C-alpha cells in the first residue's frame, strides 16, 4: 500500500510529508522533516522528551500517529526562538543552568511554553505538577522550576512593555 500523504502546519509553515500508518509524529518530525529537536526518550509517553503542541494542546509526539497530524497545527521546539532571539524560557534555562546533558530540555521548554500560554503566572506547585510528565535525570528539577518561574515574569514584563 502507498504511504499516507499528510498536509499539516508546523511552526506556522505549511508542510507536507509521507508516512506509513505505524509511524509516530515523532518519527515523521525527526526522520522525514529533519526536525531533530524533539527527542525520543522512552517511546511510551512516560518521559516527555518528545513533547510538542498540537492545536494548542501539549502532547507526546511518540503517542500520536504521524497521519493524525493532517490539518493540525503542530508547534515544536524549533519554533520557540525567533531567529537569533531566544525565547525567555530558553534564556532563563541558560542563565539558571537548568540543564546538564540537555536531552530532556527541548521537551521541558515546549511543555513550559504550553504552561505559560495557558497560565502566564503559575505558582511553583502548578509548574511542578504541569511538568511532572517531563523526566530529567540530571538537574533535580529545582533549577528548571526556577527558570520557568523567572521566564513567566519576563514574558509578563515583555507583554507590558509591548
Partner 1 sequence: MATITYSAPRSVDEAVHALRGANGAARVLAGGTDLLVQLRSGRAKPEVIVDIKRIPRLIGVRAHGGGHAIGAATPCAVIGEDPDLQKAWPGVVEATRLIGSTQVQGRATLAGNLCNASPAADSVPAMIAAQATCVVAGPGGLREVPVEAIATGPGQTSLSRGEFIVEFHLPRRPPYAADAYLRFIPRTEMDIAVVGAAANVTLDAKGVCREARIVLGAVAPTALLVPEAAAVLIGRRLEDDALSQLDAAVRRACRPISDKRGTIEFRTRVAGVLARRAASIAFQRARDRA
Q: Which chain residues interact with partner 1 by CB under 8 A?
A: 1, 4, 20-22, 24, 43-46, 48, 51, 54, 57-60, 62-65, 67-68, 70, 111, 114-115, 129-134
Which CB sits closer to partner 1, 22 or 34? 22
Which CB sits closer to partner 1, 108 or 147? 108
Write down how long the chain is.
162
Per the structure block, which three cell numbers stand in for 68? 493524525
- Could you identify the residue written with the cell 534555562? 93
Report the nearest approach of partner 1 to the CB of residue 85 (Å). Answer: 27
Which CB sits closer to partner 1, 6 or 147? 6
- Strand bridging mode 57-60 / 51-54: antiparallel
Report the nearest approach of partner 1 to the CB of residue 125 (Å). Answer: 10
Phi-psi region of 71 (alpha: psi -120 to 50; beta: other; left: phi over 0): left
C-alpha to C-alpha distance for 124 and 36, rounded to whole angstroms: 30
Which CB sits closer to partner 1, 71 or 102? 71
Report the nearest approach of partner 1 to the CB of residue 40 (Å). Answer: 11
Q: Which residues contact 155 (CB under 8 A, 6 or more apart)?
A: 88, 116, 120
Amino acid at each position: 500500500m502507498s504511504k499516507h500523504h499528510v498536509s499539516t502546519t508546523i511552526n506556522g509553515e505549511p508542510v507536507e510529508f509521507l508516512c506509513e500508518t505505524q509511524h509516530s509524529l515523532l518519527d515523521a518530525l525527526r526522520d522525514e522533516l529533519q526536525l531533530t529537536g524533539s527527542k525520543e526518550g522512552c517511546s511510551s509517553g512516560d518521559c516527555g522528551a518528545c513533547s510538542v503542541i498540537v492545536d494548542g494542546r501539549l502532547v507526546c509526539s511518540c503517542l500520536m500517529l504521524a497521519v493524525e497530524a493532517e490539518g493540525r497545527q503542530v508547534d515544536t521546539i524549533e519554533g520557540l526562538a525567533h531567529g537569533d532571539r531566544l525565547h525567555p524560557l530558553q534564556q532563563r534555562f541558560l542563565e539558571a543552568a537548568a540543564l546538564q546533558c540537555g536531552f530532556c530540555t527541548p521537551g521541558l521548554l515546549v511543555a513550559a511554553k504550553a504552561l505559560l500560554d495557558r497560565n502566564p503566572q503559575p505558582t511553583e506547585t502548578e509548574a511542578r505538577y504541569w511538568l511532572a510528565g517531563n523526566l530529567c535525570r540530571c538537574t533535580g528539577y529545582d533549577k528548571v522550576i526556577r527558570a520557568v518561574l523567572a521566564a513567566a515574569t519576563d514574558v509578563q514584563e515583555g507583554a507590558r512593555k509591548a
